[in-house]
Chain A
Amino acid sequence: MSSNIVTIEMEALSENQSLARGMVANYMALFDPTVDELVEVKTAVSEAVSNSIIHGYKNKQEGKIKIEISTLNKSTVSIKIIDLGCGMDNIKKAMEPMFSTMKDDELSGMGFTVMESFMDKMHVESEVDKGTVVTLIKKIDNDYGF
């Protein structure tokens, strides 16, 4: 089975967030997901992309975000969100619920928590001043159809 890799590159603009999750949702249609599964994936992608825009590129509305979607097997999709922004020195800290480096801006610090609970697996690689790669894996239950 082909892994059907689709790569999307976009500028790190806030308004592209809905475009990003919309395109991932279109790809997801190949897996015949339930409404819930689709919403979960869309939300997780939205979180990862806003992290890149707000933190990776420090909300300067410049830089590039690459999204790589691929099919691992007939029911598993992998989504990589890649930025070349500032990176994180302490991933573990960043992933704690309610932790935010920008608490004043009414950011909740729940991004990674949402990604973790809505997807089956999440992997984060990051290097300071190099960038961040977030890999999101979701298994779509299409054997039973409910």
Chain B
Amino acid sequence: MEPEGVFFMKAYFEIVDNVLVVKLGGEIDHSVVGQIREDIEKTAEEYLTRHIIMDFGKVEFMDSAGIGMVLGRYNKLKDKEQKLVVCNCNDCVKRILFMAGVFTIVQYGDNLMCALDLLSEEDEL
């Protein structure tokens, strides 16, 4: 179950089949990306997941530190032929990621279902 009310944690994880779903929340800036990055890496390693979905649904604010975080994950996964999908971005998050051209290389889904569909399409091919 997703915690209700105030979103204290910056990243909260769910696993669907071989996909690690990272639910991000709060304000993402340079002071928190290090911790998030570490948490994602540790969780993916511990549960041996393959692909990653980053769900920005509860993010209230993000600056360019988020670009590095997304591209960093993308590069790590690409080396292992795994996929990253970003989903559920509000307008300001989308604008920042768009500015850096993130969506030219990272797939985007409007919501978590779309993101999971994108990954299952990939697997069938």
What interface size band does chain A fall in? 20 to 34
B42 at the binding interface (Cβ < 8 Å): no
B65 / chain A contacts, CB cutoff of 8 Å:
50, 107-108
Q: Which residue of A lies closest to B27 (CB)?
A: A18
Q: Which residues of A contact B31 (CB under 8 A)?
A: 14-15, 17-18
Contact between A114 and B96, CB atoms less than 8 A apart: yes
- B78 interface residue per 8 A CB criterion: no
| Residue from A39, A53, A106 in contact with B61 in the complex, judged by beta carbons closer than 8 Å | A39
Chain B hits for A54, CB < 8 A: 30
Q: Which of A18, A21, A106 contacts B68 (CB 8 A)?
A: A106
Q: In the assembled complex, which residues on chain A have CB atoms less than 8 Å from the CB atom of B96?
A: 43, 110, 114
A42 in the interface, Cβ–Cβ < 8 Å?
yes
Q: Could you tell me the dominant secondary structure of chain B's interface residues?
A: helix
Given contacts A106-B72, A114-B63, contact A39 B100 (CB under 8 A): no
Q: Write the A111-124 contact mask toward B (1 if CB under 8 angstroms, else 0).
A: 10110010000000
Q: Which of A14, A53, A113 has the most CB of B within 10 A?
A: A14
A17 to B33 CA separation, bound complex (whole angstroms): 13
Query: What is the chain B residue whose CB lies nearest that of A107?
Result: B68
Contact check, B67 vs A110: say whether CB atoms are below 8 A apart: yes
Q: A42-B61, A43-B96, A117-B99 are in contact. Are A50 and B67 (CB under 8 A)?
A: no
Q: Return 8 A-B CB contacts under 8 Å, by A number.
A: A14-B31, A15-B31, A43-B96, A50-B30, A50-B63, A106-B37, A106-B72, A110-B100
Q: Are B63 and A46 neighbours in the complex by a CB distance under 8 Å?
A: yes
